[in-house]
Amino acid sequence: QVQLQESGPGLVKPSETLSLTCAVSGGSISGGGFLWSWLRQHPGQGLEWIGYIYSSGSAFYNPSLKRLVKISVDTSKNHFSLRVNSVTAADTAVYYCARTDGNYYHFDYWGQGTLVTVSS
């Protein structure tokens, strides 16, 4: 059974960089047919897709967030990461990582989520 686990600081100061890592277990991140996504959910709100990455390192982003976001992958450590630059209070959210079906683009396994608060 594939498991994903987010890790990173729970508190980030405004204008700084938010960095999170998603560790994948129970399967190889290099295994064919899957992409690896980050999503977020603002408090009391719906879900927002941030972007996904192939194990090759090619990444695709939500156009509304593309300018400030970068996703990277480390296949040797079987994890992938998210960076959000110049954060504001609007970036306060629960951040999820998820495995994404490479043919039909649904999210079949999710991490438990990690709350990141942007505050001075």
Partner 1 sequence: EIVLTQSPGTLSLSPGERATLSCRASQSVPSSYLAWYQQRLGQAPRLLIYGTSSRATGIPDRFSGSGSETDFTLTISRLEPEDFAVYYCQQYGRSLTFGQGTRLEIK
Q: Which of 24, 29, 79, 111 binds partner 1 (CB under 8 A)?
A: 111
Nearer to partner 1, 5 or 16 (CB): 5
Binding mask 20-59 for partner 1 (x = CB under 8 A): -----------------x--------xxxx--x-------
| Residue 2 · residue 26 · CB < 8 Å | yes
**Taking a C-beta distance cutoff of 8 angstroms, is the pair 97, 37 a contact?**
yes
The structure tokens listed for 40 are 């977020």
Q: How far is the CB of 75 from partner 1 (least distance, A)?
A: 23
Q: Which two tokens stand for residue 82?
A: 């998210």
Tokens of 105: 């683009």
Q: Check residue 74 for interaction with partner 1 (CB under 8 A).
A: no
8 A C-beta contact, residue 34 and residue 22? no
- Least spacing, CB of residue 50 vs partner 1, in Å: 10
Rg (CA), the chain: 13
Taking contact as CB under 8 A, which single stretch among the options 11-19, 25-33, 76-84, 98-106 is the one that binds partner 1? 98-106
Q: In terms of Cα–Cα distance, which of 11, 60, 13, 68 is closest to 38?
A: 60
Q: Which residues bind partner 1 (CB under 8 A)?
A: 37, 46-49, 52, 62-63, 96, 101, 103-108, 110-113
